[in-house]
């Protein structure tokens, strides 16, 4: 895998992965519970259908813990996506074998909200 030059994973004593926006620390019981729920619901990586072992914030905002923003990935795909987001590059999700877009934020994958009122 090609790495973004200069990218270095920060030490993680706070469980916030170097990002102060993270509202649920990675080392907390709340995150472990949420992570287990997402991986139980989505056992395969959204990008490549290999067994998933990472729960990712699709929109790159670690404070957005809505279920629709949490996606299961495997580690190579998570690293690829995160490095591209941090470099300001678009993330290319592709589509599955049925032609369905893998991007969790694609309009086809986001439930339409009924208009207020
Ligand atoms: Zn993958």
Over residues 46-62, the pLDDT tens digits come to: 999 999 999 999 988 89
Ligand 1 centre and the CA of 47: distance in Å?
5
Q: What is the pLDDT of residues 60-111, one digit of tens each?
A: 889 999 999 999 999 999 999 989 988 999 988 889 889 999 988 888 988 7
Confidence of residue 117 (pLDDT cuts 50, 70, 90): very low
Q: What is the CA(46)–ligand 1 centre distance, in A?
A: 6
The pLDDT assigned to 17 comes to: 65
User: How many angstroms does the Cα of residue 45 sit away from the middle of ligand 1?
Assistant: 5
- Rounded to the nearest whole angstrom, what is the distance from the C-alpha of residue 59 to the centroid of ligand 1? 17
Output the DSSP codes for 39-95. Answer: HHH--B-TTT-SBP-EEEETTS-TT---GGGEEEE-HHHHHHHHHHHHTTPPP---B
């Amino acid at each position: 895998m090609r790495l973004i030059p200069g990218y270095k994973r920060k030490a993680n004593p706070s469980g916030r992965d170097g990002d102060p926006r993270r509202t649920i620390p990675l080392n907390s019981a709340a995150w472990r519970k949420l992570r287990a729920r997402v991986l139980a619901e989505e056992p395969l990586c959204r990008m490549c259908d290999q067994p998933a072992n990472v729960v990712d914030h699709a929109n790159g905002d670690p404070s957005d813990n809505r279920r629709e923003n949490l996606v299961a990935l495997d580690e190579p795909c998570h690293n690829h996506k995160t490095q591209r987001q941090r470099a300001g590059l678009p993330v290319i999700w592709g589509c599955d074998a049925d032609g369905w877009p893998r991007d969790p934020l694609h309009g086809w994958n986001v439930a339409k909200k009924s208009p207020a009122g």
